[in-house]
Structure formats: C-alpha cells, structure tokens
Amino acid sequence: MAQRLFAAAVSAADPALAVRRHFQRHPDTGGTILVAVGKAAPAMLAEAMVHLPDARIALAVTHEGNAADIPGARVLTASHPVPNEAGLRAGREILAALDGAGPGDRVLALISGGGSALIPAPRAPLTLADKQAVNRLLLASGLDITAMNLIRQQLSELKGGGFLRHAAPAPVTGLILSDVIGNELGAVASGPTSAPLGNRAQARKLLQDNGIWDRLPDAVRQVLDAPDSAAPLPAAENYLIGSNEQSLHAMRDVVAPGWAARIVSDRLEGDVAEAAALIVQAAREAPPDRPTALIFGGETTVTLRGNGKGGRNQELALRVADAMQGQRGDWVFLSGGTDGRDGPTDAAGGVVDGGTMARIAAAGADAQALLANNDSHAALAAAGDLLLTGATGTNVADVQVMLLN
C-alpha cells in the first residue's frame, strides 16, 4: 500500500492537469513567449501550448531524465543538482528570448522545482565554475532550501526576479508548481518571477555563520560584497498551481478501508536524524488497536560527514529502519521524492520495514558504517529496499508514510 500512496501523491501533482485547471479558471491568461523551467517543464509547456497555440517562442529547460519531444517547441536538458555547461547555454537562450521581448509581447513563465540548478546565469564576473563551487558547498552545508536559494539569487541574472528585469517591458505571468514547504514563491526554482528572498548582506551572513564564506571563490565574495541594485523590480502576476499539501491529501484519500489515516506534518524539515526521531515518536504514540497510516510531507536536509552515495529520502528511510527495530508489529515506512530522484542517485527514496536491518546484515553490509559514511544508497540496495520509479515529470518536494498494522 505504501507505493500506491506514493503513486497517488505523484498523480496529484500532475503538471499538465495543474496547468489545465489554471486555464479553466483563468481563460484570459495569454502569452506570446512561453518559457518553462524545472523538472515538470515539458508537461507544463505542452499543456500551455494547447491553450496558446499562436505563441511565437516556446522553450523548455528540464532535467536530463525528463526530456520530451514537443512539436513546435524547443526542449533543452541540463544537469541537476549541480549546474553544467548545457544549463549555462540554456540560461543564455532564455535571456536572449526575454531580452528580445517588446511591449506587444506577453510572457508566460511555467516554473517548477529544480529550475535553480538547470538555468545558471552567472552574474558578472562569475563563471560557471564559480556557480558550481557554490552549489557544491551549499548542498553539503545542511542549509534548508530557502536559505540556499536566498544565496543563489544574489549570484544570478535570472533568479530572484531577474526573469522580470530581462522581460521588461513585456508583462509576465507565472504559473508555479511548488516544491517548497510553505509555498514561498520566491524559493521555488530560486524565484525567477518573484521578489528575492533577501539581499546580499543576508546572504553574506548566512555564509559566514555556516562556515562557508572563506571557502567561496574570490569572485563570489566580490559579487556579494557589492551593493544591491536600487532599481525597482517589475511586477508579475504569479499563480500557485500545485503543492506538496495537495499530494498529502491525495495520499490520505486513497488509504485502504478500515485504516485510520492522519497527516501528521506537512512541514517535515531539518536534519534527517531529527525527522527520523519525530516519525518514530509518532509511530510509538499511534493507537495500537487499529491499522494506521501516518502521513508526512516536507524536505529534510543531510549534513555530509562521509563520501558515500545517497539522498535525504534514502538516509531518512534507513534511519527510521534503524530506530524502529523492536517496535510494534508489522510496519512499513516509505520516504520518496515526488520527482523520482533522491540526490545524485537512480532512486526516489526508500521503502523499509522491520526486516530491513537484518537483510542488510545478511548481505554482508554494515548498516551503521554505511550510515556514518552517508552511504544510504548502498545500504538500501543491499536490503532490496530502494524506491525506484524513474523520473516522474513533476516535483512537489518529498512525501513519507508510516503504515502500522
């Protein structure tokens, strides 16, 4: 049942349906230039083109695993979570399309999670190598996604409302599929059509307080030491068309008859060790006399202490499996990224149960050593407990479910 609930979460975040619902409610939405960015970009763009068949530019940039052929559109692929040369070229192509917009144009931006890394547009004098260095440091820092995006926005021509500056004087409408807990639009894909989350002084403080500042390339410190732009940000009309909360409700709605179902938290954040403790505590407190599904959503963080391979969902699943040893009856726990990818791996996350730790040991692996090395992928692979879905074409952060029978 756990994987059926995960499938329901992904289905509820279907990007094409989200765009279709928007046009049904707002049929006057227009656009002569359509730009889609993120893991859901192809599906969002294809649906928008059904409603705006006369757009003169239709461009999508997505993750390499989500490529699609869309007649009449240009679909580019790039790397995530660390930006690459293909993303740099894609960012330049978007800038060219926006810089060519005139007062007679209307721009429709279709934004989904993952866009931050997919379209690096380094602010001068930064290079792609500088942006890559910053991204690696941020991903290993334990900072949450909002803090990371605040920093990234200061270094980009497109993030933090930069999309609007380059599109001006053309008006911009944004349709946003949120992968951010709390749905702060400025944090989704680093907010290309939204006001920045903060300023350079705040970015400097975050980096300094977290021991990153002195490890940054010189050019990055140079940009962050410069004053903020005094020019006002052009306005945009932004719509939230999908979110993690919608997926959690979809999971709750398909729990099997006879089961109690409860959304425990839609803000599961912070370090995976803390999140695992919260989940295990909720399982201990659940009534023992009825099958129960405990549902969670959010986006945790992993502080890297080793050089293993994994992701936040895999490490969370492994930590829960470890902590749940000897706990009540039959249980299954799933943690997965709705985009189908967890960290730099082929897995969406993990599905563990009361036998997971024994299966790891039977395979000749040391679960504790692998966990200490952030090598959750190897541990779950040894147990046969990886959640493998392939790219889903959408992204509304992570979902978890604990099934207690």
Secondary structure (DSSP) of 239-285: EEEE-HHHHHHHHHHTSPTT-EEEEEEEEE-SBHHHHHHHHHHHHHH
- pLDDT tens, 58-98? 999 999 878 899 999 999 999 988 889 999 999 999 999 99
- pLDDT tens, position by position, 330-369: 999 999 999 999 999 999 999 999 999 999 999 999 999 9
Over residues 269-285, the mean pLDDT reads 96
**CA 64 – CA 67 distance, rounded (Å):** 6
How many angstroms separate the CA atoms of 141 and 280, rounded?
Answer: 25
Q: For residue range 106-146, list pLDDT tens digits in order.
A: 999 999 988 988 999 999 999 999 999 999 999 889 888 88
pLDDT at 81: 82
pLDDT of residue 144: 85
Is 349:326 a contact under the CB 8 Å cutoff? no
The predicted-structure confidence for 217-247, as pLDDT tens digits, reads as follows 999 999 999 999 889 999 999 999 999 999 9
Do 351 and 343 touch, CB atoms closer than 8 A?
no
Question: Of 17, 396, 404, 329, nearest to 178 (Cα)?
Answer: 396
Q: Would you report the helix, strand and coil content of the chain in percent, each value rounded to 5?
A: 40, 20, 40
Taking alpha carbons only, the member of 56, 60, 32, 66 closest to residue 46 is 60
For residue 126, which amino acid is it? L
In the chain the first and final C-alpha atoms are separated, in Å, by 12
Q: Is 394 helix (H, G, I), strand (E, B) or coil?
A: coil
- DSSP code of residue 176: E
What pLDDT, in 10s, does the model give residues 158-187?
999 999 999 999 999 999 999 988 899 998
- Residue range 359-382, pLDDT digits in tens: 999 999 999 999 999 999 999 999
**pLDDT score for 393:** 87
| Amino acid symbol at 154 | Q
Higher pLDDT, 65 or 278: 278
Looking at residue 84, its amino acid is: N
Label residues 90-120 b or e (16+ Cβ within 10 Å = b). bbebbbebbeebeeebbbbbbbbbbbbbbbb
Cα(404)–Cα(331) distance, rounded to whole angstroms?
Answer: 5
pLDDT digits (tens, 9 = 90+) for 287-308: 988 999 999 999 999 988 999 9
* CA–CA distance, 247 with 249 (Å, rounded to integer): 5
Contact 13, 177 (CB under 8 A): yes
CA 3 to chain centre: 20
> Rounded to whole angstroms, what are the CA distances from 100 to 175, 238, 275?
21, 22, 47
Cα 402 to Cα 28, 246, 263, 324, distances in angstroms: 43, 18, 11, 11
Q: 74: which 2 tokens?
A: 């240009």
What was the pLDDT predicted at 31?
96
Distance of CA 187 to the CA centre of its chain: 10
Burial of 225 (0-12, 13-18, 19+ CB in 10 A): exposed
Q: Which two tokens stand for residue 182?
A: 């709390």
Global pTM reads 0.82
Report the pLDDT value the prediction gives residue 261, as an integer from 0 to 100.
97
Q: Tell me how far the alpha carbon of residue 114 is from its chain's centroid.
A: 5
> In Å, how far from its chain's centre is CA 123?
23
Please give the Cα distance from 399 to 316 (Å, whole number). Answer: 11
Q: What is the pLDDT of residue 66?
A: 84
Enter the tokens of residue 218: 């010189």
Q: Three-state SS for 107?
A: strand
Amino acid at 325: Q
Q: What is the C-alpha separation between 40 and 154, in angstroms, rounded?
A: 25
Beta strands 386-387 and 349-353 are antiparallel
DSSP 232: P
Evaluate whether 394 touches 39 at the Cβ level (below 8 Å): yes
Write the pLDDT tens digit of every residue in 196-206: 999 999 999 99
Reply yes or no on whether the pLDDT at 328 is more than 80.
Answer: no
Q: What pLDDT was estimated at residue 101?
A: 97
Model pLDDT for residues 15-50, shown as the tens digit of each residue:
999 999 999 999 999 999 999 999 999 999 999 999
Nearest by Cα to 332 from 352, 349, 356, 350: 352
